[in-house]
A = this chain, B = another copy of it.
Amino acid sequence: MAQKNRTRFAILGMLAFQPMSGYDIKKIVDNSIAYFWKENYGHIYPMLAELSREGLIKLQGRDRKKETKGGPERKVYAITEQGKKAVKEWLYQPHAAENSRIELLLKLFFGMLVPMEISIAAIERERDAAINILKELKSIRKQAHAGEQNETSLFPLITLSYGEKHYKAVIEWCEETIAFLKKTTKGMKK
């Protein structure tokens, strides 16, 4: 196997919190962990079918939320005992190193091919994006603190603090780098 499928475990883990539809899973991922994990419908729906075939989850029923505005019935899936066992097994295993690809840095690495202003502008956009994400994290933290505190709510808080630390570091680096490049450019123009 070239890679292990992690969407599988992301879905199982989410269903361990509560039964949900594919649409719900996407919503929750987008609203609570998007700063470190993303999922696509293109992966979620086929995986729900697969997990269902394997007996790790099962279709609990079809319904329509009361607070919902419209749309077709939701297919709500629940995790099975077998499914819970599978996530736990995965949680026990150490994971491989991430293979991040940071396009900004790749572009900066080739910065000698374009005028300095282009590189600086790219870093400024990165800084602004990071500031926005940090704002979102602030609102997630607010929600988290408003809810009840228990053992389960502990873990979302530590992933949150990772996000905060990361984006603060990114912003810092952007500021420093912009200043550095501007100084260098001025020096070169003489």
Contact = CB atoms under 8 A, between A and B. Distances in A.
Interface of A: 6, 9-10, 13, 16, 33, 36-38, 84, 87-88, 90-92, 94-114, 118-119, 122, 125, 129, 151-152, 154-156, 158-159, 161-162, 165-166, 168-170, 172-173, 176-177, 180-181, 184, 188
B95 A113 contact: no
Nearest to A14: B110
Contacts of A109: 13, 33, 155-156, 159
A48 to B, nearest CB: 18
A1 to B, nearest CB: 15
A3 B13 CA distance: 28
Q: Which 4 A-B pairs give the minimum distances between C-beta atoms?
A: A111-B155, A169-B169, A13-B110, A95-B103
A164 B176 CA distance: 13
A88 B173 CA distance: 24
A37 B110 CA distance: 13
Task: Count copies of this chain in the complex.
Answer: 2
A37 B165 contact: no
B94 A37 contact: no
B151 A105 contact: no
Nearest to A121: B94
Contacts of A125: 94
Nearest to A94: B125
A184 B152 CA distance: 13
Given A113-B88, A166-B166, A166-B169, A6 B101 contact: yes
B155 A177 contact: no
Given A38-B99, A95-B107, A165-B173, 9 more contacts: A13-B113, A16-B110, A33-B106, A36-B102, A88-B114, A92-B114, A96-B103, A112-B155, A119-B155
A188 to B, nearest CB: 8
